[in-house]
Amino acid sequence: MINVKAYVTTKEKVYLTICFIVSGLIWFFVLFLPIKAYMAIASMTLYSIPLLFLLILLLMHWVTREFFKAHIFGNSIRVNEMQFSEVYKIGLEMAKKLGVERVPYIFIANEEGRINALAIRFIGNAYVVLYASLVDLMLKRNAIKELRFIIGHELAHHAAGHVNVWKEIFIYPALRIPFLGKAYRRACELSADRLALVVSGDLKQTQKALIALACGSESLSSKTNIVAFMNQEVEFLLFFGFLREIISTHPRITKRVICLENFSKTASLYSYESSAEPVSGWRIYGVSGPLAGNSFELTTAPIVIGRDPKACNLIIPSASGNLSRRHSIVRFDGDGVNILLEDCGSTNGTFLSDGRRLEPGMPHPLRSGERFYLATPDIMFELQRK
C-alpha cells in the first residue's frame, strides 16, 4: 500500500485550502448569520434551523443515490468474480495498492460510443463506471496495462478523497466560483494520474492510455508516437491554451502526458512489494551498511535505491547525508537479458568494487558476484544468482 498523500500535487493542496477557507466564510455569512438574526426575533432554539437544513440535504442526497442505483444496477453490467473477473481482478489489485479497503462497485455502462470513466460516491456507496467503448478500446488491442491505469486513476479519486461526500458538500460554494472550482478539479486529475502511474508501474503504457483517450481509434491507438504527441503542446499559443483550460475540469491530454513524464523522473513508480514478477532468480545482497545481510530479488521492475521514500523503492534506513534522494538504479535492459547498474546523478557517486565511479546516466552491465557501493564502501551490495 502506498502513501497516497505523498503523491498529491501541491496545486491540489493549495486549491483545496482556498476552497475550505472560501466555503467556510460563505457558509458563515449565508447560513449562520441569518439564522442568528432570525433567532433574536423568533426565539427559536439554536440548532433547529441548521438541523432542518441538514435533514433536507440528506433527504435530497438519499433520493439522488437511490435513483442512481436504480439506473446503474438496472442498465449496466456490474463487474465481480462471476462477471468479467479479469477486469475485477485489476480493480482489486489497484484498490489494495491504493489502500481502498472497501472496493467500490465497478460497472461497465453503454454510453453510446463515448470514451470515458467516472468515479462517483454517495453516503454508503462508491462506484467506478467504465464506459463500454473505453473498455473495448483497451481490451481489443490487448492493452491490459493501459486499462490498469484507467481503473487505477478512477480508484485514485476515491483513495485521495476527491469524491468524499461531506467534503464535497462543504466546499460546494467555492466550487461554484468561476475558475476556482475548475482549477481544483484539474489539480485532482493530475494527482489521480500520478497515483495511477505509481500503482500501475509503467510510464509508457500510462501515457499511451491517455493518448488512446485522445485518439479513440482501435486501429491507430497502439501506433501512436508519445514524443510526437507531447510535441503538439508547443504547436499553439500557450496563452490561448491557458484560456481554453481555465474553463475545463480536466487539463489538456498533452499536458497530462508531459506531467507524467516529468513526475516519473522524480518518483519511484514501483513498490518493492509490487506484483512485478521475479526474473531468473537474481538478487542484490547487502554486503555492508544498514542493509547488510538482506537480499532483494530482482523483478521486471527496476530497483531504485536512495534515502527518499517518495523517490525510491529500496530505502537505505538511517542513511548518512552521503546518499542522494534517488541515488542509483538496478534494472534489466530492454531485452531482459543483462542486469544494469546506473547512477542517477547522485552527489557522491556510485562505484564498482575496484573504485571506478560510474558516469551518471551511463548503465554498467553487472556480472554475477560483482560488487558495487553507494558513496562509500560502507554501503555495499553484490549481485547474486540464487
Instruction: Look at residue 84 and tell me whether its pLDDT is greater than 50.
Output: yes
CATH code at 278-385? 2.60.200.20
Q: For residue 77, what are the β-bridge partners?
A: 108
For residues 345 and 361, the answer to whether their CB atoms sit within 8 Å is: yes
Give residue limits of the domains in the chain. 4-29+69-264, 278-385
C-alpha cell of residue 273: 512489494
- Model confidence at 52, pLDDT cuts 50, 70, 90, reads confident
- pLDDT at residue 30, rounded to an integer: 74
Percent of the chain with pLDDT over 70: 88
Instruction: Look at residue 318 and tell me whether its pLDDT is greater than 80.
Output: no
Instruction: Look at residue 40 and tell me whether its pLDDT is greater than 70.
Output: no
Q: How far is CA 228 from CA 78, 188, 225, 234, 330, in A?
A: 38, 26, 5, 11, 29
Instruction: Look at residue 36 and tell me whether its pLDDT is greater than 70.
Output: no
- pLDDT at residue 332, rounded to an integer: 82
- pLDDT at residue 320, rounded to an integer: 55
Residue 312 CB partners (closer than 8 Å, separation 6+): 268, 304, 305, 306, 325, 326, 327
> Which strands, in side-by-side order, build the sheet including 364-366?
314-315, 303-306, 328-332, 339-343, 364-366
pTM above 0.75, yes or no: no
Q: How far is CA 15 from CA 8, 168, 193, 376, in A?
A: 12, 13, 17, 43
Instruction: Look at residue 217 and tell me whether its pLDDT is greater than 60.
Output: yes
- Model confidence at 215, pLDDT cuts 50, 70, 90, reads very high
Instruction: Look at residue 117 and tell me whether its pLDDT is greater than 70.
Output: yes
| pLDDT tens-digit map of 130-167 | 999 999 999 999 999 999 999 999 999 999 999 999 99
- pLDDT at residue 280, rounded to an integer: 57
DSSP strand E in the chain: where? Answer: 77-79, 105-109, 117-122, 125-131, 278-288, 295-299, 303-306, 314-315, 328-332, 339-343, 350-352, 364-366, 371-374, 380-385
* Residue scoring higher pLDDT (337 or 101): 101
C-alpha cell of residue 242: 491557458
| pLDDT tens-digit map of 174-211 | 999 989 999 999 999 999 999 999 888 888 899 999 99
Percent of the chain with pLDDT over 90: 53
- Model confidence at 297, pLDDT cuts 50, 70, 90, reads confident
- Model confidence at 34, pLDDT cuts 50, 70, 90, reads low
Beta strand pairing call for 303-306 and 314-315: parallel
Dihedral-angle region of residue 163 (phi above 0 means left; psi in -120 to 50 means alpha; beta otherwise): alpha
